Amino acid sequence: MKTIIIGIAGGTGSGKSTFTRKLKKEFEDDVAVLYHDNYYRDQSDIPLEERRKTNYDHPDAMETELLVRQLQELKEGKTIQCPTYDYTLHTRSSEVVTVEPKKVILLEGILVLADERLRDLMDIKVYVEADADERILRRIIRDVKERGRDMEGVVEQYLTTVKPMHYLYVEPTRSTADIVINSGMNPIAFELVKNTIQKILDEEA
């Protein structure tokens, strides 16, 4: 079975998880989804106060070597045990999720196009974009509601690490994408990517 890997990158709050979730809902068990965020390094040996200061927008924050290995295993038809991550505690969770090999794998994350090893494994590269003001507003609401943060903390983190790293590592990868889409809630772009995936699934059937 040939495996097609579709990378879905974009800045924080651009809507890439929303876009990816919608594709998963459409194809259900026909596609597998891997989130780069689940590969943030385990920091259980560091006190929580220290973990809050980590730069989570630098490529070194992720164990991308494990992701590369697991993607290769999926391509070889092997089942993997994917790590999971707890944003409120800033470290790996104890659970792992079993991911079975599929014809189509969606790989989502801010930095998935920033790593040459990942880019080389991808067949289609998508970059989701949205204005910075919209992204930070969405992130404030989401991080306060879902990731156990307060507004001051989100703003401080955005200004000290998220924003500078975005312009250093995330935004430059836009030019490596095959498809650049305007926001994660873009029905036309969704139809285009959906039809592309459907074609791949039909060809391989």
Ligand X SMILES: Nc1ncnc2c1ncn2[C@@H]1O[C@H](COP(=O)(O)OP(=O)(O)O)[C@@H](O)[C@H]1O
Instruction: Map the footprint of ligand LLZGTKA7 across residues 69-98, applying CB under 6 A.
Output: 87, 90
Task: Name the residue nearer to ligand X (CB basis): 12 or 157.
Answer: 12
**142 Rama sector, left if φ>0, alpha if ψ -120 to 50, beta otherwise:** alpha
Task: Name the residue nearer to ligand X (CB basis): 75 or 138.
Answer: 138
Select from 143, 108, 141 the least CA-distant residue to 125: 108
Can residue 63 be called a binding residue for ligand LLZGTKA7 (CB under 6 A)? Answer: no
| Residue 138's binding partner out of ligand LLZGTKA7, ligand X, none, with CB under 5 to 8 Å set by partner kind | ligand X
Amino acid at 202: D
| Residue 37's binding partner out of ligand X, ligand LLZGTKA7, none, with CB under 5 to 8 Å set by partner kind | ligand LLZGTKA7
Can residue 162 be called a binding residue for ligand LLZGTKA7 (CB under 6 A)? Answer: yes
Q: How far apart are CA 60 and CA 65, in angstroms?
A: 10
Q: Which position has the token pair 């919209």?
A: 134
Single residue of 80, 110, 112, 128 touching ligand LLZGTKA7 by CB under 6 A: 110
Q: How far is the CB of 79 from ligand LLZGTKA7 (least distance, A)?
A: 26
| Residue 183's binding partner out of ligand X, ligand LLZGTKA7, none, with CB under 5 to 8 Å set by partner kind | ligand X
Task: Name the residue nearer to ligand LLZGTKA7 (CB basis): 57 or 115.
Answer: 57
Instruction: Map the footprint of ligand LLZGTKA7 across residues 30-59, applying CB under 6 A.
Output: 37, 40, 56-57
Q: Which position has the token pair 């989502």?
A: 108
Residues at the interface with ligand X (CB under 6 A): 10, 12-18, 138, 142, 183-185
Can residue 190 be called a binding residue for ligand LLZGTKA7 (CB under 6 A)? Answer: no
